[in-house]
A and B are shown apart, each in its own frame.
Chain A
Amino acid sequence: MGASFSTADTIVAVATPHGRGGLGVVRMSGPESAAIAQRLTSRELPFEPRHATLAVVRDIDQVVVTWFAAPHSYTGEDVVEISGHGSPWLLQSIVESACAAGARLAQPGEFTLRAYLHGRLDLIQAEAVADLIDAVTPLQARVAFDQLEGTLTSAVQRIDAQLFDLAAKLEASLDFPDEGFHFITRTNASADLAAVQTELERLITDGRRGRLIREGRLVVIAGRPNVGKSSLFNALIGTNRAIVTPLAGTTRDLLTEQVDVCGVPLTLVDTAGLRESADVIEEEGVRRAEQAREVAALTLLVLDGSQPLDGDDQRLLAETGGPRVVIANKADLPSVWSGSGIAVSAVTGRGLDELRAAIVGALSGESGDTAGTEDLRDVPRVSNQRHLLQLEGAVTAVTRSLEQLNQGATEELVLAELTDAREALEALTGKRTSDDLLRHIFSTFCVGK
């Protein structure tokens, strides 16, 4: 069961991460929160809004209490934040005392749900809160923060306003035929629609890269033994996590590490060198490497540029289908073949930046567009699958209405498609939603938010 839609009672939860910390915060929201805080701290006088006040929770801890009076708070209700020392036990005791004093434990996402119900956040912003909390790379945080600030909402609203304006003109032509003229010509309507289409497509392109940033991808390093896979793995993650030796068949098991490549959180996997082997351990390693390649979004196929390509290399070049980046490693040594691979040296670090760009390019291009050519430091405005789906719905409808218009269909049919486009945009910003959707969105939050 997700969050409940009730806002009549006062909810409480630990707002800081589980575990020990220097400080921990217990948050309460609801009509009784100030009164409960007073009871907990045995204060006669009410707290002063927006002032940090030193107090003592009986038999538990010395704390700082801050009261945010409705509606000027995160949830739009009376909110009290109690900062105590960060022991899980202490914080839990404060929560329990609050419950004894009339509060109830918050469900996941319930604070943000209340903010949404009170109109403090729109749906996109509420979703951004969840992303912000989960962000592990700075770019992820940045994307979520921009959405929280409303950049996506206003981009969508701008598009919706353009569609609305166009629809109004087309409607006027239908409503006042006596006037004997079109309030907008076919050519102008067509140009307006094309502009909207472009803008939507830009958001979608953005969104494909945004999803990459938000969700990350699994990238597998493959190649025959000794070409320098583990060295490259270490170079990309920036530590000597994998063992490197001049011996072929050094790596047996899968090694996994998180790495931020141009803002995209990647799960990088180093694998055993691929070759026929009599060694059962190595054989199992090769099997695992092949499995990893199957689930990966991208394969980095490493070749040794200082050695002629052998049968295993050729086989791998033929076998690794799907998205891949071919790397000619050991570029610090004289190269004996030249091909299409990116020249990299895991030892000197040469070519690593190009490799990073190629990785992100290949990943954004997985849906066949050109996001990889954009400035990778741009903050994409869209990052969420749900948003992307609605944008795709909108652009499909806009494209259809443009086709209708260009084929000579009359206003009412063009308008029908426009209405569908606008509905998709309204669903995106939450102007139009179903309660199932709300429930789903808010149930993915952690408790305390």
Chain B
Amino acid sequence: MAVPDFDVIVIGAGHAGVEAAWAAARMGRRVGICTLSAETVALMPCNPAIGGTAKGHLVREIDALGGLMGRAIDATGLQFKLLNRSRGPAVWSPRAQADKRHYGRWVREALTSAPNITWIFRRAGRVLVEAGHVSGLEFEDGGAVSCRALVVTTGTFLNGLVHIGDEQRPAGRAGEPPTHQLAESLRAFGFEMGRLKTGTPPRLDRKSIDFSRFKEDLGDDPPVPFSFSTDRIDRPQMACHIVHTTEAVHDLVRSHIDRSPLYNGQISGVGPRYCPSLEDKVMRFPEKERHQVFLEREGLDVDEIYVNGMSMSLPAAIQDAIVHAMPGLEDAVVMRHAYAVEYDFVQPTELSLSLEAKRVPGLFLAGQINGTSGYEEAAAQGLMAGINAAQRCVDATNVVLGRDQAYIGILIDDLVTRGCLEPYRMFTSRAEHRLVLRIDNADLRLTAIGRAVGMIDDARWARFETRAARLDRNRARAATTRVVVNGLTGTAAEALGRPLVSMDNVVSAGYAFETDGVREIDAATLEAECKYRGYLKRHDAQQARVESQHARRIPEEFDYEGVPGLTREVVERLSAIRPVTLGQAGRIPGVTPAALAIVASRVRKLGT
């Protein structure tokens, strides 16, 4: 067979596509990235911000594996905050507002300067298959390129339909034509597909708002970076402004609630439940007199102001009335009304844990096309699809992260095991091992894995090893230094283990904590290990037994049809998903403990 044009082709340059291309290129593959426009690379069509609870965890993990997102936001962020700082380190989560245009440009530059990435600004049309394996990509306007592996990351474009008020128009996003041919090509493989919807709040014109009337909200000083490789954030930080809703606003929402597609049934359970809309806040928490809304700038050179906390699905005229009812926004000009987009997605149960399509070897899917919502969720999948597509080209083993290893592992396991009935967003509560999966130790969990596949260069690796060695020294000293804190004597580690005792307390009591200046993260690791030690010790012992049962592998060729006692429905679910382990089988909806017991006893009998 002739050498193909590319090793890996990536369709789409959203947050998933750029990570996929970057990863495959870093691993030495020749990559083509096919997208519609240079202007929309890594675009943020909604909230111009990266991170947030659980999403921030994803970004740290992407970074620990050698991905782009953490560095991109560190370079272009306007305001950084570590959320949940008043809670324990396991739920600290970084969030930053991005300068939207600069962010996209930074990412485009990163890909352009990578040695083996070629941009292909064309419209992808058809996935080509030869001898049961992906062989290339045909463009909508003719012509084709060949490849060994193909990663599709077309986001909301598949048969996209934008709703603005009552108006509906085919579009991938506002102002961009949708993708039909590629959608047909995927459908032709027989994938189970579904339709989801998502929306974005209105934008206001900066020039029509008198910001002096609002309380300023500042970010952290100093800002805590996302990337393990960023020492300091040097860009000037910007304030955003806080507005509060009033009873008048709530009344408007309540009196028009029957015109909200989210509530009147027009959008039924297919929109993101989690990104709480204004309607949700008003209806679900009637006892709250006011809700906070942030006015956020989308960039230094952009006039649009993003109204964070006011996503809604009410008609345009009511949106105007609501905006104008907010104290201080009486004269604000709405530049763009909230809109929603409806799109096709592929049920991710069509994929294996490597994100490769079970029906079409060599074809990988990542991002919103798999039913997720959010830049970070998309980027995380893109990275893993890129890594596994690169591995595929040289027949190397898949890289699959466990649920106890990374939020990325949970994300992908949930998707391919359970499928999507509504847009999937990451939450820390999805993690069984939440106290272990922290932002401070993402590198300890994952950087060696990134290194093994060639994602981590020597400089980064050296930095990691220095940090790990320093942590070990800090741990050893914490176990031996005796301190008195709040009248109690004990080791520094014991003191840190108590609620309400902070690293500062322990350091002022005489514990010599070694740091390279980025103290936050080093201290967090130690504090978490001490605070959670009691629980984790008990929990690990308890879980060990369960896990060993759950880790038991189900043979690849295992035939569920032949297993008596399983209902038709369960046989079909299991045969379609083909879980790798008993644990995964147990997470499939509809597989009861009884059904799992039947499968387990059969697997055991086969003596695998």
Chain A: residues with CB nearer than 8 A to chain B? 4-9, 116-117, 119, 171, 174-181, 404, 407-413, 415-417, 419-420, 430-435, 438-439
Please tell me if the beta carbons of B597 and A177 are within 8 angstroms of each other in the complex: no
Is B208 located at the chain interface by the 8 A CB criterion? no
Contact with A along B286-310 (1 / 0, CB 8 A): 0010011010000000000000110
Please tell me if the beta carbons of B592 and A119 are within 8 angstroms of each other in the complex: yes
Please tell me if the beta carbons of A7 and B565 are within 8 angstroms of each other in the complex: yes
Between A and B, 21 residue pairs with Cβ closer than 8 Å are A5-B598, A171-B429, A174-B91, A174-B428, A178-B292, A178-B294, A179-B291, A180-B292, A407-B500, A408-B500, A409-B88, A410-B88, A411-B87, A413-B435, A413-B499, A413-B535, A416-B434, A416-B532, A416-B539, A432-B593, A433-B593
B55 to chain A, nearest CB (A): 11
Is B596 located at the chain interface by the 8 A CB criterion? yes
Set of chain A residues within 8 Å of B86, measured between Cβ atoms: 410
Is B236 located at the chain interface by the 8 A CB criterion? no
Could you count the A-B residue pairs with CB atoms below 8 Å apart for me: how many are there? 107
Please tell me if the beta carbons of A435 and B88 are within 8 angstroms of each other in the complex: no
Which of A177, A411, A439 is B83 in contact with, Cβ under 8 Å? A177
Please tell me if the beta carbons of B565 and A435 are within 8 angstroms of each other in the complex: no
Is B427 located at the chain interface by the 8 A CB criterion? yes
Please tell me if the beta carbons of A175 and B434 are within 8 angstroms of each other in the complex: no
Which of B294, B499, B602 is A408 in contact with, Cβ under 8 Å? B499
Set of chain A residues within 8 Å of B542, measured between Cβ atoms: 420
Given A117-B595, A119-B594, A412-B435; 10 other pairs, CB 8 A cutoff = A116-B594, A171-B427, A178-B292, A407-B499, A409-B531, A412-B434, A416-B535, A434-B546, A434-B600, A439-B601
Contacts A5-B565, A119-B592, A438-B594 given; indicate if A420 touches B539 (C-beta within 8 A): yes
Set of chain A residues within 8 Å of B601, measured between Cβ atoms: 4-5, 435, 439
Is B564 located at the chain interface by the 8 A CB criterion? yes
Set of chain B residues within 8 Å of A415, measured between Cβ atoms: 429, 434
Query: Can you list the 6 inter-chain pairs with the closest CB atoms, starting with the nearest?
Result: A8-B564, A435-B597, A410-B87, A7-B565, A6-B564, A409-B499
Q: How far is the CA of A7 from the CA of B498 in the complex (A)?
A: 53
Is B44 located at the chain interface by the 8 A CB criterion? no
Name which of B88, B294, B432, B595 has the most chain A CB atoms within 10 A of its CB: B88
B559 to chain A, nearest CB (A): 14
Please tell me if the beta carbons of B435 and A416 are within 8 angstroms of each other in the complex: yes
Please tell me if the beta carbons of B600 and A435 are within 8 angstroms of each other in the complex: yes
Is B53 located at the chain interface by the 8 A CB criterion? yes
Set of chain A residues within 8 Å of B546, measured between Cβ atoms: 434
Q: How far is the CA of A177 from the CA of B55 in the complex (A)?
A: 13
Set of chain B residues within 8 Å of A177, measured between Cβ atoms: 53, 83-84
Of chain A, the residue at the smallest CB distance from B86 is A410
Please tell me if the beta carbons of A179 and B598 are within 8 angstroms of each other in the complex: no
Is B327 located at the chain interface by the 8 A CB criterion? no
Q: How far is the CA of A362 from the CA of B275 in the complex (A)?
A: 58
Please tell me if the beta carbons of B600 and A417 are within 8 angstroms of each other in the complex: no
Is B276 located at the chain interface by the 8 A CB criterion? yes
Q: How far is the CA of A416 from the CA of B87 in the complex (A)?
A: 14
Set of chain B residues within 8 Å of A434, measured between Cβ atoms: 546, 549, 597, 600
Q: How far is the CA of A408 from the CA of B532 in the complex (A)?
A: 14
Set of chain A residues within 8 Å of B593, measured between Cβ atoms: 430-433, 438
Please tell me if the beta carbons of A117 and B594 are within 8 angstroms of each other in the complex: yes
Is B31 located at the chain interface by the 8 A CB criterion? no
Please tell me if the beta carbons of B564 and A175 are within 8 angstroms of each other in the complex: no
B232 to chain A, nearest CB (A): 25
Is B13 located at the chain interface by the 8 A CB criterion? no
Set of chain B residues within 8 Å of A439, measured between Cβ atoms: 601
Is B90 located at the chain interface by the 8 A CB criterion? yes
Set of chain A residues within 8 Å of B308, measured between Cβ atoms: 178
Please tell me if the beta carbons of A8 and B565 are within 8 angstroms of each other in the complex: yes
Contacts A174-B429, A413-B435 given; indicate if A5 touches B91 (C-beta within 8 A): no
Please tell me if the beta carbons of B276 and A413 are within 8 angstroms of each other in the complex: no
Which chain B residues numbered 517 to 548 have a C-beta less than 8 Å away from chain A?
Answer: 531-532, 535, 539, 542, 546
